[in-house]
Structure formats: C-alpha cells, structure tokens
C-alpha cells in the first residue's frame, strides 16, 4: 500500500490482534511509512501510533508526548525494560478505538531501547507521559489493546461503542 493511502485501522480489524514482526531493514519504505505515521498521529491529535494501527504488522511505533514537532520519535524494534515497581492508573484512549477511554494501570517508569531511522540504537527512560505512551504503543506490537487492560466497569461502560465499531466493521466486509 502506498504511504499516501495509509490510514488508521479501527477495532476490531484482526491486524490489531496480531503479534508484529521485527523490521529487518531500515529502507526508504520504512522511512516513508514512519513519516506518514507521524503525520497521521498529529492529524488525529494522538501522542503515539503503532504500525499495526495502519495495517502493517511491523515492530515500529512513533510517539510524541509533548506535541512539539521537534519531539517526534520513531522506535524500530523497541524493547521495554526496567519497569518501576510503582504502578499508576491514568485515563487512556486509542486512535484505533475512537470514543473509548478507560483508566489503565501501568508501571510509572520504564526504559525503552530501540533503533532510529538512521539505524542507531538508543535508550530512553521516563516516569512521565512518555512512559505511558511507550507502553501503550508497545502493547499494540504484541496485539494487546486497552480493552485487554480495562477494568470490568470500563468495559461495560464502553460496550455500546464497541458493538457499533464491530457492526460497522462487519458491514464493510
């Protein structure tokens, strides 16, 4: 699919549930997809976007928790490590599950190690919004959605919207 045709995939598309494969080479296509993903993320008002959310089963996500274009980052084949013992609950949404929000419990701090578009490895540690964004986007690479981390009460509250998304998906098949 040409990068100008990339769009955000909505639940319950099966690609969102697949474990993504590692990116084996950082070539012009990967760079173009990463650029298009950053643009889609900004257009949608998001702070992160994973390749499965645009229909690609790649271990790649983009993130920018500040909104400042200088803070755009690409994470290729990321690995999370050193989660803090302290966990915090915070409201999260997902560009692939519009209008659904829930309080999700995650480690407060985490380290991410990944490769950038120049093929250089880097590591970042955060105990702020960035840590939450990295964990959320990393979940997408393993086929995990916020639906899987929601408390029962949030799942019940979202039942109608999820049904509408499921019905809409079925209608387009």
Residues 6 or more apart in contact with residue 148 via CB below 8 angstroms:
139
pLDDT classification of 4: cutoffs 50, 70, 90: confident
As a whole number of angstroms, the distance between CA 61 and CA 38 comes to 9
Confirm whether 137 is a catalytic residue.
Answer: yes
Q: Which of 89, 91, 137, 164 is catalytic?
A: 137
pLDDT classification of 1: cutoffs 50, 70, 90: low
As a whole number of angstroms, the distance between CA 169 and CA 51 comes to 19
Q: What are phi and psi of 88, to 5 degrees?
A: -130, 150
Check residue 108 and give its pLDDT: 97
In this structure, the strands spanning 73-81 and 121-126 are unpaired
CATH number at residue 95: 3.90.45.10
DSSP-assigned beta bridge partners for residue 104:
90
For residue 97, give its domain range. Answer: 3-172
- Reported as a single tens digit per residue, the pLDDT across 99-152 is 899 999 999 999 999 999 999 999 999 999 999 999 999 999 999 999 999 999
As a whole number of angstroms, the distance between CA 111 and CA 156 comes to 33
Our count of domains for the chain comes to 1
Residues 6 or more apart in contact with residue 68 via CB below 8 angstroms:
none
Indicate the Cα dihedral angle 141, 145, 150, 154, nearest 10°: 150
């Amino acid at each position: 699919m040409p990068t100008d045709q990339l769009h955000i995939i909505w639940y319950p598309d099966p690609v969102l549930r697949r474990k993504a494969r590692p990116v084996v080479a950082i070539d012009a296509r990967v760079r173009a997809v990463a650029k298009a993903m950053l643009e889609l993320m900004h257009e949608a008002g998001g702070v992160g976007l994973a390749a499965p959310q645009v229909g690609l089963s790649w271990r790649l996500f983009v993130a920018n928790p500040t909104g400042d274009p200088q803070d755009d980052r690409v994470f290729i084949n990321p690995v999370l490590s050193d989660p803090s013992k302290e966990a915090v609950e915070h409201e999260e949404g997902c560009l692939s599950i519009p209008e659904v929000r829930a309080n999700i419990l995650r480690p407060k701090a985490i380290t991410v190690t990944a490769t950038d578009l120049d093929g250089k490895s880097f590591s970042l540690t955060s105990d702020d919004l960035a840590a939450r964004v990295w964990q959320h986007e990393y979940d997408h690479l393993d086929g995990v959605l916020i639906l899987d981390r929601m408390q029962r009460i949030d799942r019940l509250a979202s039942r109608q919207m999820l049904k509408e998304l499921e019905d809409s998906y079925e209608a387009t098949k």
